[in-house]
Chains A and B, each alone.
Chain A
Amino acid sequence: MDKKLFSEMENNLRNIIEETGLSDRKIFLFGHCAATLELTDLLEDEGLSVTAILDNSSEKQGLVYKGAEVVAPDKIIDLAGTDPENNSIVLITSRFYASMQKQLRELGYTGPIRKLIDYNTYAEYSLSEETIKRMTAREKHGEDLTKELILKHGHVFKVFCPFNALGDIYIMMSYWNSFAKMREIDNPVFCVSGRVLADIIHMFGDYPVEVYEQKELDSMIQAAIYTQDKDSYIAHQDRPYVINLHRALYIKKIPFEQIYCCGVFGLPVGTVPEIPKYGRKEYKYLDRIEEGKSVIFSPYAKSVTAIDAGIWKDAVSYYSGEGFKCFTNVVVDEAPLEGTEALDVPLPEMISVLEKAGTFIGIRSGLCDVVRTANCKKIALYPDYNYCDTKWKAIDIYSIDGFENIALEDGDTWEKIRKRIQW
């Protein structure tokens, strides 16, 4: 989870504790995802424990995290006991807050339900006058921001990238040119919610990019939908709510690249993705890397369940013992793995680092997409989780050509993982 959202979650939790005195309530979380697990950790730091994690996925039910079992949402009626208004609470960190709230009320749960992060400004399950008025103001604000954009750039085609994720942007850009040719778009401006996403876009070309706060970008996207602005395109696979591509995954496995190629852009199967023109800039401290005898570890991913620290520790120990110099790819204040040096490399320079190092081992994150064309040994590790609310495992959807793609299993150690590497 990025820092801003984490801070929002901390502040909201603090307010809820002050307001309701959580220690006297059974705490339920809804949705077994990375953010929920982070919230469990945060609650633990406050001396609070979670009674259960509610999740509709039968694949996830039965999992346990820090003593909290994942159970079907209808179990809350029994688990909350009598007087749920005063003895229980449901905390939600998911962008599906509105539908989760609705489901709980339909089940008959009458206790408080609180949103910890405002992930999804598009949804509010109400047609009350007050809601419509607020949403209308939000849409008008989006129109104003769009007018400002046009004043600055003139008559341009707006490409909205609604979500701050490296992998989505990289894959989107690798098919952008084919789409632009098909639609005869020659004047795009990309609208994103993070500066690092602009770096990814610039790896593919000298395109104009505007960076917005997430809520501002959401309002512009909503304005485009409301006004049916034909000089815009929302280039994403599952956001906002009008995009329904994810439904195909309930019945069919579609790899991530095909989701973008065929689903997002409507391009024929087999369309060749573009390789970034400016993705091989040289890292200025390349002399730190021992050629062919270095390993770059990438253990952090903001939206993926973390991999057991023991696996990373043993991997570092193994490579150090083999005479390799070990580095951890970090961003800002992330801590390097013990026994490694921290390496904070701009994304367009990352491939130069990997190619000199010779080996890359990372949790499957967007960074793996960015370095997919690096000519070196590459391992992507996949924690055991399902892709969104589908029956597919992360590795089914995110597997990358040119990588050793390794799904982690219960009780895995570095030794066991190493034996599955096919080099």
Chain B
Amino acid sequence: MKLMEICNTNSNYMKYYRLYEYTDNICVLEDNPLYPGLLNYVKTGLLTREELIDALEYNKDVEQ
């Protein structure tokens, strides 16, 4: 699937993302009032923006 299609919140990929977890290949970074997210750590100073990017990019299946 293409990144732009997922970024478009009207796309089926985003619609299905909210219906169930159909893949673990997507990590959505959003500031959603309905549930917590990584941006809370940046807002509260626990993570820097650089650390946020590192956290998003981290691949646990690969020895870092």
Instruction: Give min CB distance, A105 to chain B, whole Å.
Output: 13
* Residue from the list A131, A232, A243, A244 in contact with B22, Cβ < 8 A: A131
Given contacts A242-B28, A247-B56, contact A228 B20 (CB under 8 A): no
A306 CA / B56 CA spacing, docked (Å): 33
For the complex formed, measure the closest distance between the CB of A52 and the CB atoms of chain B, giving whole angstroms. 18
Interface bin, chain B: 35 or more
* Cβ-neighbour of B20 out of A103, A124, A234, A252 (below 8 A): A124
Interface segment among A201-209, A219-227, A355-363: the answer is: A219-227
Q: Enumerate chain A residues within 8 angstroms of B24, measured Cβ to Cβ.
A: 98-99, 102, 123, 125, 241
Q: How far is the CA of A163 from the CA of B43 in the complex (A)?
A: 26
Q: Are A136 and B19 in contact (CB under 8 A)?
A: yes
Chain A: residues with Cβ within 8 Å of the partner, total of 56
CB distance from A216 to the nearest CB of B (A): 16
**Nearest CB to that of B20 among chain A residues?**
A135
CB within 8 Å of B: which A258-279 residues: 258, 261-269
Is the CB–CB distance between A266 and B43 below 8 Å?
yes
Q: Contact between B40 and A264 (Cβ–Cβ < 8 Å)?
A: yes
Report the Cα distance A104→B41, complex, angstroms: 33
Q: Chain A residues near B61 (CB, 8 Å)?
A: 56, 103
- Whether A250 pairs with B58 at a CB distance below 8 angstroms is yes
Total of A-B residue pairs, C-beta within 8 Å = 132
A262 with B44: CB separation less than 8 A? yes
Bound complex: CA A195 to CA B28 (Å): 33
How many angstroms from the CA of A124 to the CA of B38 in the assembled complex? 24
Interface centre among A136, A224, A242, A254 (most CB of B within 10 A): A242
* B28, closest chain A residue (CB): A242
CA distance A250 to B62 in the complex (A): 12
Q: Is the CB of B60 within 8 A of A248?
A: no
Interface of chain A residues 123 through 161 with chain B (CB within 8 A): 123-127, 131-132, 135-136, 138-139
A225 and B33 CA atoms in complex are apart in Å by 11
A interface footprint on B12-41 (CB within 8 Å = 1, 0 otherwise): 000011111111100111001111111011
In whole angstroms, what is the CA distance A197 to B46 when docked? 29
Cβ contacts under 8 Å, A267 to chain B: 44
Q: Does A266 lie within 8 Å of B47, measured CB to CB?
A: no
Beta-carbon contact of A233 and B27 below 8 Å:
no
A183 to B40, CA, bound (A): 14
Q: For residue A233, which residues in chain B have a CB less than 8 angstroms away from its CB?
A: 33-35
Determine the distance from Cα of A103 to Cα of B62 in the docked complex, in whole angstroms: 13
Cα–Cα, bound, A161→B17 (Å): 20
A20 at interface, CB cutoff 8 A:
no
Does B7 have its Cβ within 8 Å of any Cβ on chain A? Answer: no
Distance (Å) between the CB of A164 and the closest chain B CB? Answer: 18
| Contact between chains at A248 and B37 (CB < 8 Å) | no
Shortest C-beta distance, A94 to chain B (Å), equals: 13
Taking CB as reference atom, which chain A residue is nearest B23? A125
| Residues of the B chain whose Cβ atoms lie less than 8 Å from the Cβ of A234 | 34-36
Within 8 A of B (CB), among A39-98: 56, 58, 98
A244 near B27: Cβ-Cβ < 8 Å: yes
Are A245's CB and B20's CB within 8 A? no
Q: Which residues of chain B are within 8 angstroms of A235 by Cβ–Cβ distance?
A: 36
18 contacting pairs across A/B (C-beta < 8 A): A124-B21, A125-B23, A127-B16, A222-B19, A225-B35, A230-B34, A234-B34, A234-B35, A243-B35, A247-B56, A248-B55, A250-B55, A251-B55, A252-B46, A252-B55, A254-B46, A263-B38, A264-B36
Please report A residues at the B interface, Cβ cutoff 8 Å. 56, 58, 98-99, 102-103, 120, 122-127, 131-132, 135-136, 138-139, 183, 222, 224-226, 228-230, 232-237, 240-245, 247-248, 250-252, 254, 258, 261-269, 389
Interface residues of B (CB under 8 A from A): 16-24, 27-29, 32-38, 40-41, 43-47, 51-52, 54-56, 58, 60-61, 63-64
